[in-house]
Amino acid sequence: MASILKSLKLVSDPSRLRILLLLEQEELSVAELQEILAMGQSRISTHLSQLKAAGLVEDRKQGKNSIYRLRDRQLLQLFQYAASELPEATTDLRGLVLVLEKRRDKVRGYFDELAGKFGRNYVPGRSWKGLAETLLQLMPPMEIADLGAGEGTFSQLLAQRAKRVIAVDNSAKMVEFGAKLARENGIANLEYRVGDLESPPIEDASIDLAFFSQSLHHALHPERAVTAGARLLRPGGRIVILDLKKHSFEQARDLYADTWLGFSEVELRGFLENAGFEDVQSWVVDREQQSPGLETILAIGRKPAA
The pLDDT averaged over each successive group of 10 residues in the chain (306 residues) is 70 88 92 89 93 90 88 76 80 88 70 65 73 82 94 90 95 92 93 95 97 95 97 97 94 93 93 96 88 93 92
Domain locations in the chain as residue ranges: 4-86, 139-302
**How far from 116 is each of 112, 128, 245, 285, CA to CA, in Å?**
6, 11, 17, 9
Quickly name the fold that domain 4-86 has. Arc Repressor Mutant, subunit A (1.10.10)
Instruction: Output the CA torsion sign for 275, 281, 282, 285.
Output: negative
**Helix (H) and strand (E) counts for the chain?**
13, 10
Which sign does the torsion angle of CA 174, 180, 184, 185 carry? positive
Q: Give long-range contacts, CB 8 A cutoff, 24+ apart: 153-160.
A: 154/211, 154/213, 155/190, 156/181, 156/182, 156/185, 156/187, 156/190, 157/132, 158/211, 159/187, 159/189, 159/190, 160/136
The pLDDT assigned to 220 comes to 92
Strand spans (E) along 123-232: 143-147, 164-169, 190-194, 207-213
- Write out the H or E segment, with its range, that includes residue 130: helix 128-138
175: closest CA among 155, 204, 189, 199? 155
Residue 168 is predicted with a pLDDT of 96
Q: Is 69 helix (H, G, I), strand (E, B) or coil?
A: strand
Superfamily of domain 139-302: Vaccinia Virus protein VP39 (3.40.50.150)
Residue-level pLDDT at 296: 93
